[in-house]
Amino acid sequence: MNVVIENYTRTDTKIASDLGRYGVATIHEAQGRKGLLAPHMRPIYRGAHISGTAITVSVPPCDNWMIHVAAEICMEGDIMVVAPTSCSDAGYFGDLLGTLLMSRGVRGLVIDAGVRDVVDLEKMGFPVWSKCISAQGTVKETLGSVNVPVVCGGQTIHPGDVIVADDDGVVVVERQEAADVLTKSAQREEKEAGIRKRYAAGELGLDMNNMRPQLAAKGLKYPDRKEPTSK
Amino acid sequence: MNVVIENYTRTDTKIASDLGRYGVATIHEAQGRKGLLAPHMRPIYRGAHISGTAITVSVPPCDNWMIHVAAEICMEGDIMVVAPTSCSDAGYFGDLLGTLLMSRGVRGLVIDAGVRDVVDLEKMGFPVWSKCISAQGTVKETLGSVNVPVVCGGQTIHPGDVIVADDDGVVVVERQEAADVLTKSAQREEKEAGIRKRYAAGELGLDMNNMRPQLAAKGLKYPDRKEPTSK
Amino acid sequence: MNVVIENYTRTDTKIASDLGRYGVATIHEAQGRKGLLAPHMRPIYRGAHISGTAITVSVPPCDNWMIHVAAEICMEGDIMVVAPTSCSDAGYFGDLLGTLLMSRGVRGLVIDAGVRDVVDLEKMGFPVWSKCISAQGTVKETLGSVNVPVVCGGQTIHPGDVIVADDDGVVVVERQEAADVLTKSAQREEKEAGIRKRYAAGELGLDMNNMRPQLAAKGLKYPDRKEPTSK
Amino acid sequence: MNVVIENYTRTDTKIASDLGRYGVATIHEAQGRKGLLAPHMRPIYRGAHISGTAITVSVPPCDNWMIHVAAEICMEGDIMVVAPTSCSDAGYFGDLLGTLLMSRGVRGLVIDAGVRDVVDLEKMGFPVWSKCISAQGTVKETLGSVNVPVVCGGQTIHPGDVIVADDDGVVVVERQEAADVLTKSAQREEKEAGIRKRYAAGELGLDMNNMRPQLAAKGLKYPDRKEPTSK
Amino acid sequence: MNVVIENYTRTDTKIASDLGRYGVATIHEAQGRKGLLAPHMRPIYRGAHISGTAITVSVPPCDNWMIHVAAEICMEGDIMVVAPTSCSDAGYFGDLLGTLLMSRGVRGLVIDAGVRDVVDLEKMGFPVWSKCISAQGTVKETLGSVNVPVVCGGQTIHPGDVIVADDDGVVVVERQEAADVLTKSAQREEKEAGIRKRYAAGELGLDMNNMRPQLAAKGLKYPDRKEPTSK
Amino acid sequence: MNVVIENYTRTDTKIASDLGRYGVATIHEAQGRKGLLAPHMRPIYRGAHISGTAITVSVPPCDNWMIHVAAEICMEGDIMVVAPTSCSDAGYFGDLLGTLLMSRGVRGLVIDAGVRDVVDLEKMGFPVWSKCISAQGTVKETLGSVNVPVVCGGQTIHPGDVIVADDDGVVVVERQEAADVLTKSAQREEKEAGIRKRYAAGELGLDMNNMRPQLAAKGLKYPDRKEPTSK
């Protein structure tokens, strides 16, 4: 059955926006190394960094009709997540749909398929993370669903989850965990700032994290050293 | 038999050049959604947008001899299209051949294989759409043919057809249809300008194209709405 | 057995650095068309061009512990080469490790897997050639080895070999051949400068290299010519 | 956090087993064309056809420790579903683990990674659907989870869902829908038997489904016919 | 425009059938090493070897409606060739359509996409060469064309051309060249029988084809031989 | 420089043959989880299991001339290992070359490219592990080398190393380590026989290897258990 779900719970707006202060790698780590979409999801231009709540669109292969349906219920702060039900590299989205979504406050698109008009999308400042760039047209013949859970880039995404995307890729944060992940991301970033300073000063991770005994215990050999682990 | 065909009919120069005013996505749509090369054909640098008539080169794998042969019969306004007879990711073309072709008025290269010296090619302003970037050398041992029909990026290309390429990819327009496609591209662009304005103003595709009755007829449900399609 | 080899012979520093004057394609040709890593090894940002001697790191899949171990023995002028023992697209390296390696004079990273924090790495000016960009975290649980021969991008790389990398990709030069390859690269570049000038002036490769008799001997036909090879 | 969930609801045993009477294609259709795992999930030998309830195992890349953990809580009628948290083609499973699982009544394995000892697994009659065949060893160092939802072959799978696998691939049926899908599969098979008979007798789908008017309405042309649709 | 072409010229029936006496590799060689479809086109079961004339079907992605349209005009001796207009791995064809086509004398299917019901198709003896095996359903919503030239597996195929397929893959022979290719295939097979006998008797290709002088001329060195080429 | 090395040290014949008693997975484990070729190296038919010493052939892409050169110096007990210098899926080898190599006692072929005439090769009982099956012809124009180290399937292989191949794939054992690996393989197989018996009897790996304390120490939780690790 094909449905459009309108009553779903978005992650708190401020939390979703604040998560955008942190990079995808930081958030992925802060939430216990999960939620990262597959590395084939690449930005169509470099330098964009967005966060927002997912509006999910399950589309038939090579059919973008449901993007129009979803557009009606988009809100300021949304990121659209589009997943075809079968592998496809057609171009489901271009500058016209980008214009439509921007007018409704959508912050960007994550699509496990192709996108086109990338020059115009970059000029407009509408960022997209996609599997490929392709001008191949799609049709409007078959129904899909809006705001059902989808698998995109190998991750299950629920409507209302937080999406963060930057040049490293795309990560999803479950709504229930978003506040916690925000706190942990801030902590991680602070901690990393300290590590960065020490690394820049020439300190080794081996010493900072006292790794030498563990390495020796696992059996690592330094055949060219007289006194292997106490250098 | 390996041949070099010199007497073939190029698409009218002005039509071929004028098609370059339109993007690949527009032309692909204008000609009925055909002729688009596969999305693995990517530009070696962003921002180039060219059109011209195809000079086709069928090359043995890892052998670029026939590019030299083809160079002799290139003309101002040509785009060279190179297709190996077996899958290859070697680098058949670099800045030297780029210099040679530019001196003869060739506008760019489309190659279903690899290219090298991409820094120099970008500096020279000689655009290339290729399957990959690779410095792997090729030989000059085995014959191929020039200006026979080739399959490049999954499309059949005849010598004299129009090639248009931009950041969205590459499209081929058959010579016989070029004038018609030029007209339709202009019409499409004009129409899209109108749609863009209405989308920017917040109008929905659902309303602009009166999609709601069709969606309802196909069975789309809005379980959270009291009166589903008349919102 | 997992080992860290510290006493190995680096290619002469000046030779390794001087090879960086030449592009990857030139060096690949100068050494007889060998040593080129596979074209999936791409720079995370355009415009970097480095050379140095390889410090090789064989890592278990999704485990970056040995990069910390290798960091201790890095020297000014090194390029780190990382090869997982099984196919992986996780992100083994980010801006923190980049900071650590830069503080030790490492010039860049070549990794047959993923890398993250690419925005920061570009800002820092620490270039990376990798299979993909991925924020996926790795662990520190299993040993590997440092400065054993590794296969990276389909090429065997020994510690101390010269690595040169630019926008065309990555090439390895064996230590024993580096001086000779440097000489030949200079010769090749000089020769190419001459060819470039002649091509720019409109001369054909067909004539410059007297290819017509060979082509005719192999059976190439010009059906549209009256006197095929003497045009 | 890494957990092993033991109290979860399996689909009714009889329903799960009965679904195995139908092919993957039939079930995929019967449940509205969803739930099919990606086509890279292939059987290691031809001719197996199984159904059962999913016990899901989320494993770190190249680490099969959690398969041992999951083995303890396997039951007669289970099919083990293994999904690494990052892309991997190592061999997580061989004839020893096959022996262990068979002794506990497990009917087969579905793994989005590699498997080894395929000769022995075939001899034992323990079927596996996997991404590849690979003898690459894995470690036992890092935790994962058992019976959490996983994404395998691009589909979200919950513990207790029904898995059906045959030479066409693998399909998941959600527990809540299993009874309904069983009924619809039977209906579909019956219907298809009728169609098969009519096709075998030479009837056309065009006539059986009265497609000609629709085709004409969409604009299909038969230029070589005098009276196109009434042949 | 979407068309169904019914009046086209099939290659002579006897020639098309007789070509099936020779393997794909032999025919590919006999016609000058062309016409071979890409190696991703694999048989769904081993041991089939067919030849016939192509009926070509250009289908929209994930839509198999036109296969029904094409079925009406199939004849004894046809091989159906199906090419989606955009990359797809759905399952366009199963045992029902196989039954339909068999009833009309079609000898097999070549499809640059997926196929399902492979167990039944093997039982029926209806061979298929496809890009993948997939149970993913397709729709009947959008028109395509029958008997227009298509690109399938990287080769242009015209209706009426000869298709030969065996465990090595699929080759197309242009109608105009079929008689000549048949003659040359017979000659090649005869010649190969002679070579096979001599190889089996221990003769070397080096001697049989007098390769040693050429190898020496190209510079091949045997550093361990005192008198390199006269052994 | 292109060379044919004839004086190289083969692994002891008996050791090389005896290693063939063990499966690829066993040998890969016995030598410390190294030497396994990438999983894209697949047998052209199931059920072959061979071992022997490597004669290595470095070939230009799409050129099989050096296989003829190598044939002259093949010996009883050899396995030919062919690696193109650039990625290729052409068919370098068929039943004629299979006949030639069999007549010289070669036990099989490992090739990081394509092979053809697979029906005949299976009938002859000449096993091949390859990247693909392809009838695409190759030429005899450009030199390569015989018995230099090559990278095949991502592993460095030296002439005289042991190759073992079965349905799990291909593994290389360095000559210097072969005797030791043979001993360890026997030990491993014996050990595995014991484990297999205990698994078949229903014992768990968790208990056999006393994994519970480690799992608990790493933090694994059993939320549904009252007393988690002592069940």
Is D227 an interface residue toward E (CB < 8 Å)?
no
Residues C107 and C81: beta-carbon distance below 8 Å:
no
pLDDT tens string E165-181 = 999 999 999 999 999 99
Amino acid identity at C89: D
Look at E62 and A86 and tell me if their CB atoms are within 8 Å.
Answer: yes
- Rounded Cα gap, residues D162 and D15, in angstroms: 9
State the Cα angle at A149 between A131 and C139, rounded to 5°: 65
- Whether chains A and F touch (3+ CB pairs under 8 A) is answered by no
Judged by phi (left if over 0) then psi (alpha if -120 to 50, else beta), residue E202 lies in: left
* Residues sharing a CB contact under 8 Å with residue E133, sequence separation 6 or more, in sequence order: D39, D42, D167, D168, D169, E44, E91, E114, E115, E116, E118
Band the pLDDT of A226: cuts 50, 70, 90: confident
Question: What integer best gives the mean pLDDT of chain B?
Answer: 96
pLDDT band at F226 (very low <50, low <70, confident <90, very high): confident
Structure tokens at A144: 């899909």
pLDDT for the residue E195? 97
CA angle B112/B117/B121 to nearest 5° reads 85
Q: Is residue B171 helix, strand or coil?
A: strand
Q: How many CB atoms lie within 10 A of CB B112?
A: 28
Those residues whose C-beta lies under 8 Å from the C-beta of residue E18, and which sit 6 or more positions away, are E51, E182
Please spell the DSSP secondary structure of F41-85, one letter per residue. -EESSTT--EEEEEEEEEE-TTB-HHHHHHHHT--TTEEEEEEES
| Structure-token pair, residue F106 | 């070669």
C63: DSSP letter: B
pLDDT digits (tens, 9 = 90+) for F146-184: 999 999 999 999 999 999 999 999 999 999 999 999 999
Alpha-carbon dihedral sign for residues D180, D186, D187, D188: positive
Chain B residue nearest residue E153, CA to CA: B154
**What residue type is assigned to position E203 of the chain?**
E
pLDDT tens per residue across span A113-135: 999 999 999 999 999 999 999 99
Q: What CA–CA distance (Å, rounded) separates A73 from A54?
A: 12
Contact D69, D26 (CB under 8 A): no
pLDDT score of C91: 97
Task: Give the pLDDT of residue E230.
Answer: 45
Of F141, F96, F132, F97, the closest CA to residue F112 belongs to F132
Contact D36 E134 (CB under 8 A): yes
Closest partner residue to E218 (CB to CB) among F91, F132, F143 is: F143
Give yes or no for residue A29 having a pLDDT over 70: yes
CA distances (Å), origin B73, targets B66, B69, B156, C137, C196: 11, 8, 21, 54, 19
For position D164, what pLDDT does the model report? 98
Query: Per-residue DSSP letters for E192-230?
Result: HHHHHHHHHTT--HHHHTT-HHHHHHHT-B-TT-SSTT-
User: Is there a contact between F89 and B87 if contact means CB atoms under 8 Å apart?
Assistant: yes
Window 98-137 of D: residues touching E by CB (8 A cutoff) are: none
Q: Which two tokens stand for residue F196?
A: 């297999």
Give how far B148 is from chain E: nearest CA, Å.
12
CB contact under 8 A, E100 and D204: yes
D and A adjacent (3 or more CB pairs under 8 angstroms): yes
* Cross-chain CB nearest to F156 (options C1, C85, C149): C149
Which whole-number Å values give the CA distances from A155 to A36, B62, D154, in the listed order?
A: 7, 40, 8
What band does F227 get if pLDDT is binned at 50, 70 and 90? low
The three-state secondary structure class of C59 is strand
Half-sphere CA count of A52, side-chain side, radius 13 A: 21
Chain C residues 38-57 with a CB less than 8 Å from chain F: 38
In the 8-state DSSP scheme, what is residue B46? T
Residues 6 or more apart from F149 whose CB is under 8 A from it?
A: C156, F56, F156, F157, F158, F159
From C97, C109, C50, select the one nearest C71 (Cα to Cα): C97
pLDDT of D155 reads 97
Assess whether pLDDT exceeds 60 at residue F230: no
pLDDT tens digits along E138-166: 999 999 999 999 999 999 999 999 999 99
pLDDT one-digit tens code per residue, F187-218: 999 999 999 999 999 999 999 999 999 999 99
Please, which residues have CB within 8 angstroms of residue A61's CB and are 6 or more apart in sequence?
A84, A85, A86, A87, A88, A90, E61, E62, E88, E90
Rounded mean pLDDT of E116-127? 98
Cβ separation F132–E215 shorter than 8 A: no
DSSP summary character for residue D97:
H
Taking CB atoms and an 8 Å cutoff, what residues of chain E touch A62?
A: 60-62, 86, 88
User: According to the model, what pLDDT value does residue A1 have?
Assistant: 85
DSSP conformation class of D176: G
CA-closest candidate to residue C205, choices B114, B115, B95, B70? B70
Residues A96-105, mean pLDDT to the nearest whole number = 97
Which range (B161-175, C65-79, E163-177, F217-231) has the least confidence?
F217-231
Residue D217 token pair? 């309405």
Q: Output the average pLDDT for chain F.
A: 96
Q: Mean of the pLDDT values across residues A77-106?
A: 96
User: Distance, in angstroms, between C228 CA and closest chain A CA?
Assistant: 42
How much is the ipTM here?
Answer: 0.95
pLDDT number for residue E231: 42
CB contact under 8 A, F60 and B62: yes
Q: What share of chain F is helix, strand, coil (3-state, %, to 5)?
A: 30, 25, 40
Cross-chain residue pair E38–B87, CB shorter than 8 Å: yes
Beta-carbon contacts of E191 under 8 Å, excluding residues fewer than 6 positions away, are: none
How many other β-carbons are positioned within 10 Å of the β-carbon of residue B220? 23
Taking the CA of residue C138 and the nearest CA in chain D, the distance in Å comes to 9
Q: Do E1 and B32 touch (CB under 8 A)?
A: yes
Cβ–Cβ gap B168/A135 under 8 Å: yes
Residue C1 pLDDT: 85
| Coil, helix or strand at residue F12 | coil
pLDDT given at position E227 = 64
C127: helix, coil or strand?
coil
End-to-end CA distance of chain B: 67
Chain E residues whose CB is inside 8 A of the F140 CB are 211
Average pLDDT of E66-85?
97
Q: What is the 3-state secondary structure (H, E, C) of C135-146?
A: CCCCECCCCCEE
Predicted confidence at residue D227, as pLDDT, reads: 64
Interface with chain A: mutation pick from B28, B199, B209, B212, highest number of A CBs within 10 Å: B199
- pLDDT at site C226: 79
Give per-residue pLDDT as tens, A142-154.
Answer: 999 999 999 999 9
Separation in Å, CA of A154 to nearest CA in chain D: 6
> What are the pLDDT tens digits along chain D (231 aa)?
899 999 999 999 999 999 999 999 999 999 999 999 999 999 999 999 999 999 999 999 999 999 999 999 999 999 999 999 999 999 999 999 999 999 999 999 999 999 999 999 999 999 999 999 999 999 999 999 999 999 999 999 999 999 999 999 999 999 999 999 999 999 999 999 999 999 999 999 999 999 999 999 999 999 999 764 544
Q: Do C119 and A25 touch (CB under 8 A)?
A: no
- Give the tens place of pLDDT for each residue, E203-212: 999 999 999 9
**Model confidence pLDDT, tens digit, residues C205-219:** 999 999 999 999 999
Confidence band of C227 (pLDDT split at 50, 70, 90) = low
State the pLDDT at residue D226: 79
Query: CB B39 to CB A132 under 8 A?
Result: yes
pLDDT (tens digit per residue) in B12-60: 999 999 999 999 999 999 999 999 999 999 999 999 999 999 999 999 9
Residue range B74-102, pLDDT digits in tens: 999 999 999 999 999 999 999 999 999 99
The pLDDT tens digits for B187-204 are 999 999 999 999 999 999
Secondary element (H or E) of residue D109: strand D109-115
Q: CA angle, corner C53, sides to C50 and C57, nearest 5? A: 105
Pick the residue from chain A with its C-alpha nearest to D152: A154
Q: Which residue has the higher pLDDT, C229 or B113?
A: B113
E229 has pLDDT over 70 = no
In a mutational test of the D interface, the residue from C65, C87, C115 whose CB has the highest number of chain D CBs within 10 Å is: C87
